[in-house]
Amino acid sequence: MADSASPAARSDTVRLDPSDNVVTAIRPLEVGAAVEGVAAAALIPRGHKIATTAIPKGAVVRKYAQVIGYAAEDIAAGAHVHTHNVEFRATEVAYEFGTDLRPVAPAKTIDTFRGFRRESGRVGTRNYIAVLTSVNCSATAARKIAAAFGPEEMAKYPNVDGVVAFVHGTGCGMAGDGEGFEALQRVMWGYARHPNHAGVLMVGLGCEMNQIDWLLEAYGLKKGPLFHTMNIQDVAGLRRTIELGVEKVRAMLPIANEAVREECPASELMVALQCGGSDAWSGVTANPALGYACDLLVAQGGAGVLAETPEIYGAEHLLTRRAVDRKTGEKLVGLIRWWEDYTARNKGSMDNNPSPGNKKGGLTTILEKSLGAAAKGGTTPLTGVYKYAEPVTRPGFAFMDSPGYDPASVTGQIASGCNLVTFTTGRGSAFGAKPAPSLKIATNTEMYRRMTEDMDVNAGRILSDGMTVEEVGREIYEQLLRVASGEVTKSEAQGLGDYEFVPWQIGAVM
Amino acid sequence: MADSASPAARSDTVRLDPSDNVVTAIRPLEVGAAVEGVAAAALIPRGHKIATTAIPKGAVVRKYAQVIGYAAEDIAAGAHVHTHNVEFRATEVAYEFGTDLRPVAPAKTIDTFRGFRRESGRVGTRNYIAVLTSVNCSATAARKIAAAFGPEEMAKYPNVDGVVAFVHGTGCGMAGDGEGFEALQRVMWGYARHPNHAGVLMVGLGCEMNQIDWLLEAYGLKKGPLFHTMNIQDVAGLRRTIELGVEKVRAMLPIANEAVREECPASELMVALQCGGSDAWSGVTANPALGYACDLLVAQGGAGVLAETPEIYGAEHLLTRRAVDRKTGEKLVGLIRWWEDYTARNKGSMDNNPSPGNKKGGLTTILEKSLGAAAKGGTTPLTGVYKYAEPVTRPGFAFMDSPGYDPASVTGQIASGCNLVTFTTGRGSAFGAKPAPSLKIATNTEMYRRMTEDMDVNAGRILSDGMTVEEVGREIYEQLLRVASGEVTKSEAQGLGDYEFVPWQIGAVM
Ligand SMILES: [Ca+2]
Ligand SMILES: [Ca+2]
Ligand SMILES: [Ca+2]
Ligand SMILES: [Ca+2]
Ligand SMILES: [Ca+2]
């Protein structure tokens, strides 16, 4: 597309729909700057909104053709529209189910990547040995077991990507049943059987609530040459636990090294769709581009997993219309209700979500953020709604319940089976999460330039270079196939991903 | 004391009070074994209880002369008394305040240790440089900064104990006010100003809820040669953040190395009293011995900080009687009420606490566990009740609110100012928590022998060798003075303590 054809390249603002009464500033606007025939009445920071018509007190503020809030006072045309003059109200929505189904056109060619096909039939994009912990009390043991495998020893196993310790702060001081306990067990189960793991060693203390033996029994996990467990209290101390653990991993390495990549269809890819440190561009550039990439993958028979329930809050009625059936849509509504209860019980509110950084970037309400966040999920039918860390079993576009908080959400997505992670960010992030490679997508060129060593894709070119959402979306899709085949992401090159395993802790810590 | 004078050494069971209707088996009892004139009707595992009289359905089960539960069915003399035939009931208690004050007799001599006296006037027992994180998003950055300081470089700074990264799973996806947020900020503040830290570098991402700048403002922390902050988003990426962070720490090291130990009175010691992996002996050996050590320290003008509110549940009426005034006692009752609400809101119950390991070890109800847990606090007046991670400001025996979960509780105790940690355990533990050395105290000789490399003191000798509680308590106290002066604990010798920083996450993760 020629520069002259890109409206963004010609204007100081972006209008997302003709019916909107606000537009977004691409660059800082001085007082008096002309915007769609009105004059800016205040300095408008980059990414913030300006009213293009007067909005009387109580009237809706409209962006993406959707309600993002209500005028808390009379807002004049040309005024800065943000938290100081916009209020959030929970609105009653009549949910519709399956009324906006746009069945995906199957791709004409079958795209492929080179992955590790496992005995289970599932395909890995990486080949790690995992040291899992049931409780924080075995954290040091697990770290020291993993740390025993230095570059020299690992050089003997070129097909193994590393030995990784998955260490966390929970696993005891919790109820032995209920949501929190079940979520943690699903995470452990999901990492234990993840196709990016060639072998697994589970290390516990012995007296914790999250008992390893219960997990094996409940989920039918079987010990074997590539699946071991141990408890510090049984082994009689830390030193012996580390020694024995190192022995067990050392015995798995030659077997893990026998795994080789082979040609696999793109339908074997399951991509986590994530955002963090969002800004006003997230919903305009990176998220819609990622949504397009998701559509391309779904056309191949692959899966895209959206999550972050609090961040689609207020936009869930758009997703229920895409649900393949009523039951799937109602499951999503059930999650929303659960979250309203969860936050109320914890003396919070669903409007807490835009973080200081979000607000600084120009996002005013959770509704505005949600509409932009949901764009990551593209346009294809919603084929399933899953609990946190629950295995995703159907291809297509899926939704998994999770907090918006990046490490907790991605931990659930990986446990659910995602073998790739995509992560859009406006303010910048140094995220990575073993065992799945993370592709980081910048929403704006300025941040991309500042953090090039951390960003894999610059979706900011949609604004700065007049590229289309589809062009950047295709780039993301093609890069995902290469990364799935072993191409190293920015976060992998920097050695990230060892400290971002954060199972969602739902209940009380006791 | 001669062996013949120790009743424990002569018997198969331990009776804790003449009014008890159960006694505890020191060794496994066969069916038919004679116990206080009755015959064991079942196999009684070691540490478990046997009824010495018939207990009709609904009658109280008594241990420590206190109610530990109610007979769920008719219990015959000689029967095994445990979860299968005992039920828990919340009882109404009329609290008394200050009715059991046993003012501490000031010590005749002033004991001393060699510590690091800081400009603040407070005294450290170790000399670390801390790399603190505001959010999980800066975890890898902090770890890589700390990891840059290898043994060769650190050898140049013999007075510095190490560079430690304090990494955690929270800091965003949370409400920006309220209990959870305030608790996290208190933890950060407490670690930032901890006397065991010579210097501090705080690393954030930039857009997180837990903003570093807000913390500095709220708590009046000032940047200087030994206190630095930085955000990844400002510094423009992970690599540069690590480089700059390493520079800042490198500049602090020579200054930190100038600190030298000097003679300080024992009144400068504040000891965290903690237990984890309790068993039936915890309340019989290690906890009362630690309580005696606490009494000795309080007599010197030092402080002992009990915590783990759910674990004193049901025994709080004994603590309110020791409160120096009504207000202090009522603060404790307030914590109990808060916990009842917190667990109810989170669909839990205060009776969840005995873990599978606790129960296996013979503890039947939370009441039984609480009575044993509270013994760690000795006998002196309760001089203060504090919020989680709140600075402890008065000498004497104090209580700090926290979960029972070891890493979350000890993180709060250290943040509150504790410069030593004591940790009693029956099932065994490999706990350690920088920057405070942790003294681990075994409740039984069998576990001590199995995990000698992890245990600093064997309080099991009270049963196996006929030692008195006071003898072991004095040993603990004297060892604490040596450890405070630099003697290395078992967990320090094993390099533990880098992965046990777990701020209590109270509210919803969003
Ligand atoms: Ca987000
Ligand atoms: Ca997120
Ligand atoms: Ca030292
Ligand atoms: Ca405990
Ligand atoms: Ca504990």
Q: Write down the pLDDT at residue B8.
A: 38
How far apart CA A125 and CA A195 sit, in angstroms, is 8
Q: What is the average per-residue pLDDT within A394-415? A: 97
Q: Write down the pLDDT at residue A6.
A: 40
Q: What is the average per-residue pLDDT within A53-82? A: 93
Q: Which of B177, B346, B449 to mutate to probe the A interface, most A CBs <10 Å?
A: B346
Contacts of A109 (CB under 8 A, 6+ apart): none
Least confident of A103-107, A269-273, A405-409, A474-478: A103-107
A363 in contact with B, Cβ within 8 Å = no
Give A361 to chain B, closest Cα distance, Å: 10
| Average pLDDT for chain A | 92
Q: What is the average per-residue pLDDT within B417-432? A: 97
Instruction: Please give, one letter per residue, the 3-state secondary structure of A212-276.
Output: HHHHHHHHCCCCECCEEEEEHHHHCCHHHHHHHHHHHHHHHHHHHHCCCCEEEEHHHCEEEEEEC
Between B366 and A185, name the one with better pLDDT: A185
pLDDT tens digits, A70-110: 999 999 999 999 999 999 876 567 899 999 898 888 899 99
How far apart CA B94 and CA B89 sit, in angstroms, is 16
pLDDT tens digits, A135-190: 999 999 999 999 999 999 999 999 999 999 999 999 998 888 889 999 999 999 99
CB atoms within 10 A of CB B323: 27
Res B2 pLDDT > 60: no
Sequential DSSP letters for A382-437 = EEEEE-TTPPP-SSEEEEE---SSHHHHHHHHHHTT-SEEEEEESS-----BTTB-
Confidence of residue B92 (pLDDT cuts 50, 70, 90): low
How far apart CA A127 and CA A107 sit, in angstroms, is 29
Angle, helix B469-484 to helix B286-299, in steps of 10 degrees: 60
Interface size A-B, in CB pairs within 8 Å, comes to: 254
Confidence of residue A9 (pLDDT cuts 50, 70, 90): very low
Contact criterion met (CB < 8 Å) for A508 and B342: yes
Q: Are B210 and B240 in contact (CB under 8 A)?
A: no
- For residue A182, list chain B residues with Cβ-Cβ distance below 8 A: none
* Chain B 490-509, residues with CB within 8 Å of chain A CB atoms: 494-500, 502, 504-509
Q: Write down the pLDDT at residue B9.
A: 41
Least confident of A345-359, B19-33, B142-156: A345-359
Confidence of residue B352 (pLDDT cuts 50, 70, 90): low
Q: Write down the pLDDT at residue B353.
A: 60
Question: What does the CA dihedral A448, A449, A450, A455 come to, rounded to 10 degrees?
Answer: 40
Q: What is the average per-residue pLDDT within B305-311? A: 95
Res A58 pLDDT > 70: yes
Give B25 to chain A, closest Cα distance, Å: 21
Give A369 to chain B, closest Cα distance, Å: 14
Beta bridge partners of B192: none
Contact criterion met (CB < 8 Å) for B408 and A509: yes
B353 in contact with A, Cβ within 8 Å = yes
- Among B323, B114, B142, smallest CA distance to A500 is for B142
Q: Write down the pLDDT at residue B337.
A: 95
Least confident of A232-246, A261-275, B128-142, B272-286: B272-286
Q: Write down the pLDDT at residue B176.
A: 83
Place of tokens 């918006």: A404
Q: What is the average per-residue pLDDT within A436-465? A: 96
Q: Are B196 and B128 in contact (CB under 8 A)?
A: yes
CA B27-B29-B34 angle, to 5 degrees, is: 115
How far apart CA A346 and CA B18 sit, in angstroms, is 46
Q: Write down the pLDDT at residue A363.
A: 86
Beta bridge partners of A436: A433
CB atoms within 10 A of CB B351: 18
Q: Write down the pLDDT at residue A214.
A: 86
CB-based burial label for B148 (10 Å; 0-12, 13-18, 19+): middle
Confidence of residue A3 (pLDDT cuts 50, 70, 90): very low
- In degrees rounded to 5, what are phi and psi of residue A441? -120, 115
Between B219 and B420, name the one with better pLDDT: B420
Place of tokens 């949501």: A179
Q: Write down the pLDDT at residue A22.
A: 97
pLDDT tens digits, A479-507: 999 999 999 999 999 999 999 999 999 98
pLDDT tens digits, A276-307: 998 888 998 999 899 999 999 999 999 999 99
Handedness of CA B233, B236, B237, B238 (dihedral sign): negative
pLDDT tens digits, B446-475: 999 999 999 999 999 988 887 888 999 999
Contact criterion met (CB < 8 Å) for A141 and B208: no
* Complex ipTM over 0.85: yes
- For residue A140, list chain B residues with Cβ-Cβ distance below 8 A: 430, 432, 495-500
Contact criterion met (CB < 8 Å) for B408 and A510: no
Q: What is the average per-residue pLDDT within A377-392? A: 96
Q: Write down the pLDDT at residue A149.
A: 98
Q: What is the average per-residue pLDDT within B430-435? A: 97
What tokens were used for B246? 């390493």
* Chain B 197-226, residues with CB within 8 Å of chain A CB atoms: 205-209, 211
- Among B254, B143, B269, B300, smallest CA distance to B196 is for B269
Q: Write down the pLDDT at residue B368.
A: 86
Sequential DSSP letters for B353-376 = -S-HHHHHTT--SHHHHHHHHHGG
Contacts of B412 (CB under 8 A, 6+ apart): B183, B187, B307, B388, B389, B400, B401, B402, B503, B504
Q: Write down the pLDDT at residue B347.
A: 79
- In degrees rounded to 5, what are phi and psi of residue B66? -120, 160
Q: Write down the pLDDT at residue B393.
A: 97
Give A25 to chain B, closest Cα distance, Å: 21
Q: Are A484 and A419 in contact (CB under 8 A)?
A: yes
How far apart CA B25 and CA B46 sit, in angstroms, is 5
B344 in contact with A, Cβ within 8 Å = no
- For residue B176, list chain A residues with Cβ-Cβ distance below 8 A: 352, 356
Contact criterion met (CB < 8 Å) for B178 and A510: no
Contact criterion met (CB < 8 Å) for B355 and A496: no
| Average pLDDT for chain B | 92
- Among B135, B175, B170, B183, smallest CA distance to A502 is for B170
Beta bridge partners of A70: A60, A87
Confidence of residue A2 (pLDDT cuts 50, 70, 90): very low
Give A233 to chain B, closest Cα distance, Å: 6
Sequential DSSP letters for B413-464 = HHHTT-SEEEEEESS-----BTTB-EEEEESSHHHHHHTTTT-SEETTHHHH
Contact criterion met (CB < 8 Å) for B169 and A408: yes
* Chain A 282-341, residues with CB within 8 Å of chain B CB atoms: 310
Q: Write down the pLDDT at residue A352.
A: 52
Q: Write down the pLDDT at residue A7.
A: 41
Give the HSE-up count for residue A5: Cα atoms under 13 Å, Cβ half-sphere. Answer: 4
Give B109 to chain A, closest Cα distance, Å: 39
For residue A278, the chain B residue with the least C-alpha distance is B207
- For residue B407, list chain A residues with Cβ-Cβ distance below 8 A: 136-137, 169
- For residue B211, list chain A residues with Cβ-Cβ distance below 8 A: 356
Res A41 pLDDT > 80: yes
- For residue A235, list chain B residues with Cβ-Cβ distance below 8 A: none
B435 prior amide bond cis, ω within 30: yes
Res A244 pLDDT > 90: yes
**Amino acid present at B136:** N
* Chain A 454-483, residues with CB within 8 Å of chain B CB atoms: 454
Confidence of residue B6 (pLDDT cuts 50, 70, 90): very low
Beta bridge partners of B228: B201
Q: Write down the pLDDT at residue B276.
A: 93
How far apart CA B206 and CA B214 sit, in angstroms, is 12
